[in-house]
Chain A
Amino acid sequence: MALDEQVCAVVSANLEKKIPVGRNTDLRKDVHLDSFGTMMIINGLEDAFSISIDDQDFRAVSSVGDIIEMLRTKYHVGG
């Protein structure tokens, strides 16, 4: 599965509500992410990719696309 698809799947699996998730999904406006919601997604990504994510790196993230780029550039996931 491509990185984009995997990340969208992890985000979707950790949301309370069933909404379509894509690169442009805004974590605040579309998902209403709170601190525990953020933690669920971080934990899900850590499990999915066997990495440990620094919470500080996630603070700059505002969309699913940002998550994908962060994983690619900072954590070298997905080649």
Chain B
Amino acid sequence: MGTERFYDSLSIDKSAAFETGFNPYYRSVEAVYRTGALIDGESYIDCASNDYLGLAADPRVKDAMKKAIDTYGASLCGTPIASGYARLFTEIGKKLELFTGAGENVIFPSCYQANCALFQNIVGESDTILVDHYAHASLIQGIRLARCKVKPFKHNDMEHLERLLKSDGSTGRKWVVTESVFSTEGSIAPLDRIADLCEMYDAVPVVDDSHGIGVIGRNGRGILEEKNIRGFKGIYTASLGKALANAGGIIAGDPRLIDYMKYSCPGLIYSTALTPSSLAGIGAVLDIIEAEFPARSLRLRQNRAVVLKALKEAAFTCSDGESPIVSVICGSDTATFRCAREFFNRKIFTTAFVPPSVPPGEGLIRIIAGAKLGENEISTITAAIAETGKEING
């Protein structure tokens, strides 16, 4: 195939964007301020960002990052195994270990990278990975790289999981993979039950707590706190770019696993390390969470409750999860983009999910009414919901 034909063959279906006159993706954020963002020169209330606790623009976080830049510069420009390992890695790693209760950890430039790197480094070809149907794309990509047998189980369906564990006759190791808080519809995995099943059937649990860390649990410590799990024997990953308001991702678990990953994982050792300024920012966020989580969490939950009520009153069909994520079920790609457009036209920035991020025909709009949004912003959102509801639902 000629080069030109190759490039011509790379195509993305943008028909929904053409039909609706609106592309919800790659909107250009020019600035971020306390409650929103400047996009294409106009102010929007930000319900798209994963900045759950409203700390990404906090002056204390920014100051910590600026100080780290003064000390270390923009980047150490090296892999952590060589020149890229700042003292902050040890310090923040320890803070994260104590915070999550997940054990020692290794810090990656992103959780997507961590998830992709994890499975191909430790899973054998004769192993079996049992994975929740709705697991995040990063886990799916990582699992595909492992080249072993994959058995999805129905979403949060412990009976189905147990049937699969019981009937699995493979000779290799068994892994059970899930998210803690599912990023598209906000349900929470019964990780305590999963851990019990893994103990019973000699499987290793793997949980991605990206939308749980800093969000769920009495003190915001994530899924292990939420489900009261002590001495977790599995593998824990999480994004540091959502409630922890920065960038990066961690893999945490048994010290032997972490040491092995540090020295053998290509996805870590052949990649430039996360910057020291990011680590400093994460440290500052963890300190703020320790001091201020109850108040921020309360505002987050109150915001969610008000938004969900408004959506239902406007005749939207919404997801039924327990976390701060609220999703409006739209259906087709066109319906999803239309809904996103109507919110956007009313200055509410949301996230549109279409395949392959969701099953075909199950597009949705995700709304995260973060803790940074006050009464005025929530009032604007509910008014926008009412108007959008009339426009779309009649």
Contacts and interface: CB of A to CB of B under 8 A. Distances in A.
A44 to B, nearest CB: 10
Interface residues of A, number: 15
Interface string A46-78: 010000000000000000000000000000000
A28 B360 CA distance: 7
A8 interface: no
B60 interface: no
Contacts of B355: 34
B180 to A, nearest CB: 18
B155 A39 contact: no
Contacts of B360: 28, 32-34
B167 A16 contact: no
Contacts of B356: 34-35
B133 A29 contact: no
B361 A39 contact: no
Nearest to B151: A43
B38 interface: no
Contact of A34 (B154, B167, B359): B359
Contact of B154 (A33, A40, A47): A40
B387 interface: no
B361 A36 contact: no
A37 B358 CA distance: 11
Contacts of B133: 16, 36-37, 40
A6 interface: no
A37 B361 contact: no
Interface string A9-44: 000001110000000000011001111110110010
A33 B153 CA distance: 14
B150 interface: yes
A29 B361 CA distance: 8
Nearest to B167: A47
B154 A16 contact: yes
A41 to B, nearest CB: 10
Interface string B344-383: 0000000000011011111000000000000000000000
A45 B104 CA distance: 41
A32 B154 contact: no
Contact of B359 (A14, A33, A43, A47): A33
Contacts of A37: 133, 152, 359
Contacts of B310: none
Contacts of A39: 150-152
Interface string B144-168: 0000001111110000000000010
A15 B150 CA distance: 17
B140 interface: yes
A14 B361 contact: no
Contacts of A43: 151-152
A39 B153 CA distance: 10
B64 to A, nearest CB: 40
Contacts of B154: 14-16, 40
Interface in B162-201: 167
A56 B85 CA distance: 46
A16 B361 contact: no
A28 B355 CA distance: 12
B197 to A, nearest CB: 18
B354 to A, nearest CB: 12
Contacts of A14: 154
A33 B151 CA distance: 15
Contacts of B359: 32-34, 37
Interface of A: 14-16, 28-29, 32-37, 39-40, 43, 47
7 contacts: A32-B359, A33-B360, A35-B356, A36-B135, A36-B140, A40-B152, A40-B153
Interface of B: 131, 133, 135, 140, 150-155, 167, 355-356, 358-362
Given A15-B154, A34-B355, A39-B150, 7 more contacts: A16-B133, A32-B362, A33-B360, A35-B356, A36-B131, A36-B133, A37-B152
Q: List the 9 shortest-distance A-B pairs measured between CB atoms, nearest first.
A: A34-B359, A36-B152, A32-B361, A32-B359, A36-B133, A32-B360, A40-B152, A39-B152, A43-B151
